[in-house]
Amino acid sequence: MKISVKITLIYAAILALTLFIISAITGAGVYFGFYHQVEVELQISMENVLREVEKGNLFNQNFFERDPLLPGVVMRVTDETGRVILDTDAHYPSIGKIRRSVRKNRAFMASPNFMVAELRNFIIYYTKIELTTDRTYTLHFFKTVTSERNFLRTLLWVLFITNVIGFLIALFAGFFISGRILKPITTFTKLLQSVEISRLKKRIPVISRRPDELTEMAETFNLMMDRLEDGFKRQQQFVSDASHELRTPVTVILGYADLLDRWGKSDPKTLDEAVSAIKSEAKGMQALIEKLLFLARADQKRQAVKKENLDVGEILKDVIKKFEVMSKHEVVLERCDSYNAMTDPVLFREMIRIFLENSEKYTEADKKIGAKFVVSENAAIMTLFDEGIGIKKDEQEKIFERFYRVNEERGKKTGGTGLGLSIAKWIAEVHNISIEIDSEEGRGTKIILRFEGSESSG
């Protein structure tokens, strides 16, 4: 069953129950009001009659001067033999006939002190009292409720018909309105059925801007599709770039292998050149594959991160000391404060090395490369700087993209893959470190690592 049908039926059932309860309460209230009003009129008339009797006005000419009976109330007096000695309305049926017509079961909402007689054309509310003076009299009080009962029946029928019509209108309107309201879900389902790799541009049209659940669902789906499309494009670009990067060393290796096959066996010089080139390209491929695997594990959140409470300053000192030994540049550590933070030492060292090696690639041999780590009351900032070629403003946001190189030719000469800074950015993120770049073309670059401090302790 469709969800629109379920919603319509549920709300129609709730509406039907509500209408039934309201109609029942209304009918019972009107029913009680009619009978209660008749009972009150009969009770008042009986009390007035008894007061007149106490005054000594027993069925004489003064008895009716004060109008003891309310309008519509009929009194009939009989003696002990059943003979009628007073009748205020002779058109009423006989007492015997009325008694034979009294309902055996008390009418709903009727007082147990009163009886309801149902004749062919009349419905009479009836009660009696015994009066003893010098003789015994029975006072019979009547009031017809025929019009009231007819009105009540008409009212109940009107309520029933109104409820049925209202229920049917609600049912049909519910089907129509629920279909309109749930239209985004239908569109959503059809769209899901048609989504393929080649059709990631499809979106749910969001017509209404009201903050309801369906609009939120459509917007969430569209955002998800935006992320999927962006991720798929990145994946395509990543695969394309990786294939391009691997194609060159594979081509070189195959070329030298072919060279070895033809002439290398008998020419030692060619053999040495080919073996050296193959080893170099294989090492480059190995480094590239390791970086690709690292980023793949990072994307899948499977890269192990083992943090310890370590002194970040000491790690920086150690990395700078080892880098200074291997580097041909002037390497300086201007300042290095002590600062404890939850850190994975292996990954953190790798991040610093990546930035330093990147500076080395793009800095002339006689220029300076250095670092500085300043801890203040409000911040802990590590700065890695160089006096290299710098980065253009419009390229600074792109350097962390995979396989992106600021200087393509320079990157190829230095053996770069364009993946190091992507790895460094991921390591910074898992350590809750923000990265800022301060660079101008021809004036060097500063990489500013700011420790956010959510998981650190100074």
* Residues 123 and 44 both lie in one domain: yes
Q: Using the predicted structure, report yes or no on whether residue 217 has a pLDDT greater than 60.
A: yes
* Residues 140 and 27 both lie in one domain: yes
If you compute the radius of gyration of the chain from its CA atoms, what whole number of angstroms results?
50
* Residues 228 and 240 both lie in one domain: no
Asked whether residue 184 is domain-assigned, the answer is no
* Residues 84 and 216 both lie in one domain: no
* Residues 293 and 157 both lie in one domain: no
Which tens digits make up the pLDDT trace of 352-367? 999 998 899 888 888 8
| pLDDT at residue number 417 | 65
Contact 42, 73 (CB under 8 A): yes
Residue 20's contacts (CB-CB under 8 Å, 6 or more residues apart) are 163
| pLDDT at residue number 156 | 79
Which of these three, 299, 321, 339, is where a domain ends? 299
3-state secondary structure of 89: coil
The C-alpha angle with vertex 194 and arms to 189 and 199, in degrees rounded to 5, equals: 130
Q: Using the predicted structure, report yes or no on whether residue 181 has a pLDDT greater than 50.
A: yes
Average pLDDT value for residue range 49-64: 72
CA distance 134 to 127: 23
Q: Using the predicted structure, report yes or no on whether residue 6 has a pLDDT greater than 90.
A: no
* Residues 47 and 156 both lie in one domain: yes
| pLDDT at residue number 314 | 94
Confidence of residue 237 (pLDDT cuts 50, 70, 90): low
Contact 315, 280 (CB under 8 A): no
The dihedral through the CA atoms of 203, 209, 212, 216 has a sign that is positive
Q: Using the predicted structure, report yes or no on whether residue 440 has a pLDDT greater than 50.
A: yes
Range of the domain at 380: 308-457
Asked whether residue 179 is domain-assigned, the answer is no
Count other Cβ atoms within 10 Å, centred on residue 143.
22
* Residues 416 and 327 both lie in one domain: yes
Question: Could you tell me where the beta strands, DSSP code E, fall in 327-440?
Answer: 330-336, 340-343, 368-375, 380-386, 433-439
Least confident of 101-105, 163-167, 184-188, 293-297: 184-188
* Residues 39 and 55 both lie in one domain: yes
| pLDDT at residue number 433 | 94
Nearest alpha-carbon partner for 428 in 314, 323, 338, 347: 347
Nearest alpha-carbon partner for 321 in 382, 358, 380, 371: 371
Which tens digits make up the pLDDT trace of 86-143? 888 888 888 888 888 887 776 666 677 788 888 877 788 888 888 887 788 888 998 8
**35: Cα within 13 Å, side-chain hemisphere:** 19
CATH value at residue 277 = 1.10.287.130
Q: How many domains does the chain have?
A: 4
Which of these three, 257, 276, 299, is where a domain ends? 299
Average pLDDT value for residue range 428-433: 92
Two structure tokens written together for 61: 């000419």
